Amino acid sequence: MNARGYFVTGTDTGVGKTLFSAALTRALARSGVRVAVMKPVASGAVRTADGLRSEDALALMAEASVTAPYETVNPYCFPPPISPHIAAAQANLQIDLDVLRARYAELVATADCVIVEGAGGWLAPITTTESMADIARVLAVPVILVVGMRLGCLNHALLTYESIAARAANFAGWVANGVDPAMECAAENRRTLCARLGEPLAQIPALERADALPDLSAAAARLLLRS
């Protein structure tokens, strides 16, 4: 596998980007891939003895087979659980795409694959003019869209898909994540997205235990075959 990465975005915040990214990282690692992880920007971080830490970054790092310093994995980390561009402004900090590109290059140098998790959705702002989409652009990585399957997801998924195409980003596929076990017409909704976005890379059911990662070895194998 050539050194490459995937940018994992979602239809919204809280739709399963971390769950999917951690499970994919685990599956890639178990298949022998040297896999690193990145959470370029995080808000809602906790203060620890080691400094500010994002739970997402830690969850991803726990599955990676390539270790890296925390600051490389998560260069921008803010305590309040608010939009990163507001958190950065409050901290008098400017999120710098060149910094993210440099940290990503460090990870790529030691890994076969880097799984990068965005924050919020595809156009979540990081500065007054830039968004998560610009991170995927400067890292030049294909995008995986996690769709939280619940009422309203068709509009969010199609808008995101359209914006990914409009920005000429490389679409690597989507994931149907069953966040709402009571969703009505779940199969019809999934078929609607299949007709427009293609077959999903993975379908994750509603999990009873939130800490149990789904087995994504089939999705990992599909991605490996393509590279």
Ligand X SMILES: Nc1ncnc2c1ncn2[C@@H]1O[C@H](COP(=O)(O)OP(=O)(O)OP(=O)(O)O)[C@@H](O)[C@H]1O
Does the protein bind Mg ion through residue 17 (CB under 5 A)?
Answer: yes
Q: How many residues sit close enough to Mg ion to count as binding (CB under 5 A)? A: 3
Does the protein bind Mg ion through residue 112 (CB under 5 A)?
Answer: no
What is the distance of C-alpha 151 from the center of its chain?
A: 21
115 binds, among Mg ion, ligand X, none (CB under 5 to 8 A by kind): none
The active-site residue, picked from 17, 26, 39, 53, is: 39
Residue 79: φ, ψ to 5°: -65, -45
- From residue 43 to residue 62, the character string flagging contacts with ligand X as x (rule: CB under 6 A) and all else as - is -------------x------
3-state secondary structure of 63: coil
Query: What is the maximum span of the chain, computed from C-alpha positions, in angstroms?
Result: 49
Site for ligand X in 112-171 (CB under 6 A): 119-120
Rounded distance, CA 64 to CA 61, Å?
A: 5
Q: Which two tokens stand for residue 126?
A: 């990081």
Residue 39 catalytic?
Answer: yes
Site for ligand X in 6-25 (CB under 6 A): 10, 13-19
Nearer to Mg ion, 17 or 53 (CB): 17
Q: Specify whether the CB–CB gap between 168 and 185 falls below 8 A.
A: no
The residues annotated with a catalytic role in the active site are: 39
